[in-house]
Amino acid sequence: MSEENQPNNFYADCMKYFDSLRKQGKQDFAFEDEFFYTMPALSEKMIIEK
């Protein structure tokens, strides 16, 4: 996988994971915290690289 697609794939995979949890009526607060802390940095990297 190219490095260019990694942030997009990570984001898509996270959305699938969160959707799966919602369907089960569960939450993963530890991962959510890490995700929302990390996403701004990943988003900035995607913008800078384009």
27-44 pLDDT per residue, tens: 999 998 888 887 776 666
48, 47, 43, 49: which is closest to 7 by C-alpha? 43
pLDDT at 8 over 60: yes
User: How large a percentage of the chain has pLDDT more than 90?
Assistant: 34
In a domain, 1, yes or no: no
Average pLDDT over residues 11-31: 93
pLDDT of residue 49: 52
Q: pTM for the whole thing?
A: 0.65
DSSP 4: T
**Which domain covers residue 30, as residue numbers?**
6-49
CA angle 1, 40, 12 (to 5 degrees): 40
How many domains does the chain contain in total?
A: 1
